[in-house]
Amino acid sequence: MTTFEAIPISQIDKGSAYITTGDGKAYPLDAEELRHAFAAIVRDDPTEMITTGEAARILGVSAKTVARMLDSGEIPFVRYGAKGNRMVSRAQVVAYRDKSKSHSHEALETMREAACQGGLDDIDYSAYLARYS
């Protein structure tokens, strides 16, 4: 078992992995320790069900947005309990998030290519802004 020693967060090199505590101390992690930390945090249990609130936090959206996603069939769900609360698979929520991010990056790259081909990346912004000053 590795013994961790805390150091001030200001002493952590940029781009280095670390775990921090609320008191400003950090625990640097090497690649193996980082892999173990991720394994402890991320569960690969495809049967793990979470609430729509937890799904909202994972996706970075509101619970109402998650409800609309569920109603439209974007993410499958089951009703659970006497009140019929909706539950979703954590694995499916994470997969949806990753797919959405990938789609967003592809769309942005397509827009960049179109702007380059159309000569839109050579705009003189100072002249453009001067027109509205």
Average confidence (pLDDT) over 83-105? 88
User: What is the average per-residue pLDDT within 117-133?
Assistant: 75
Confidence label for 3 from pLDDT (cuts 50, 70 and 90)? low
User: Does pLDDT of 17 surpass 80?
Assistant: yes
pLDDT at residue number 42:
65
Q: What torsion, rounded to 10 degrees, do the Cα atoms 80, 89, 42, 16 define?
A: -120
CB 52 within 8 A of CB 66: yes
pLDDT value of position 1: 45
Q: Which two tokens stand for residue 92?
A: 């499916």
Rounded average pLDDT over 11-40: 80
pLDDT confidence band for 62 (50 / 70 / 90): very high
Kindly report the pTM of this predicted structure: 0.50
Looking at the structure, give the CATH architecture of the domain made up of residues 49-117.
Orthogonal Bundle (1.10)
How many Å apart are CA 128 and CA 109, to the nearest integer? 24
How is the chain split into domains, by residue range? 7-41, 49-117
